[in-house]
Amino acid sequence: MARQPNGTVHAHSSGTPPPVSTSRKVRRRGPIDVVDAKVAVDLATAQTYSENVFLFVPNLIGYTRIILAGLSLHFMSYHPRYCTILYGISCLLDAVDGQAARALGQTSKFGAVLDMVTDRCTTSCLLCYLSSAYPSYALLFQFLIALDFSSHYMHMYSSLVTGSRSHKLVTSDVSRILWYYYNDSRTLFFMCAGNELFFVALYLMKWIQSPISESLAPGIASFLPALLLTLTWPEIMAISSFWVCFAKNIINIVQLWKASKILVGVDLAERAAAREKEATDREKKA
């Protein structure tokens, strides 16, 4: 081993992963530590099996979600039952990985981003199919995809530039709506599940045309309104979850607007600091 003057340690070519010194590569930025990108790559390359973030249980659940979502897309155009079951399990596992992370002490930034990216991509793929199934509403579905991606990307980036450890750490003084949405796990699950349920219902409406009156026992059907009996199960699901989907996309708009204001505020603060520095430099030269 050879120690360099700058304090970092390098290994000779012995096949052993070089230990990575992070002391000089970590700096404070607000409330978080910022690690140099090269050091981060070296740490990820040299990680051991016992502490491999890629193999954390919550992340393994995340990979399973991706596989299930991919299989559901495979069956989407010709086997609605398999597609719906696989898609539903993939979405439900979204509530499991977070609990596993907290229970096992395996929370990670990689897992948080993997979870968000999986959610965005899975929903977008379903919306792409709905665009072809309902061509008259293709523009609306494309808008929902763009809103979902843009609001979450800008929210994530605004969280990073303001030094937040997680995009879910929103304070009530920034946005009471986002604070309640992200800090109450029941609300978050209800909104996300209702949003997905609405899109799944739209998907099933293309396949199921029989009204519920044909699948209910006569005794039960007699207690239901006549209008309800003319609807299909997917139509009832869509009507029930529409308002949740509507509210979820209102939250996306709020998230996009708040993130935009945060980024503009950071720009203004940095420009003001640059002007102050220029003024100070001129005074020193004068």
Catalytic residue among 94, 119, 148, 281: 119
Q: What is the DSSP letter of 25?
A: T
Residues paired with residue 28 on neighbouring β-strands, in sequence order: 33
Side-chain-side CA neighbours of 77 within 13 Å: the count stands at: 7
Look at residues 209, 225, 205, 33 and name the one whose alpha carbon lies nearest to residue 129: 205
Query: Distance of CA 2 to CAs 10, 11, 45, 83, 125, Å?
Result: 6, 7, 20, 57, 52
Return the SS3 of 29.
Answer: strand
| CB atoms near residue 135 (< 10 Å) | 10
Is 119 in the active site? yes
Report whether 122 contacts 91 (CB < 8 A). Answer: yes
Return the SS3 of 17.
Answer: coil
Q: Residue with structure tokens 């096992």? A: 104
Kindly state the helix (H) or strand (E) to which residue 27 belongs, with its residue range. Answer: strand 26-29
Q: So which residues are the catalytic ones? A: 119
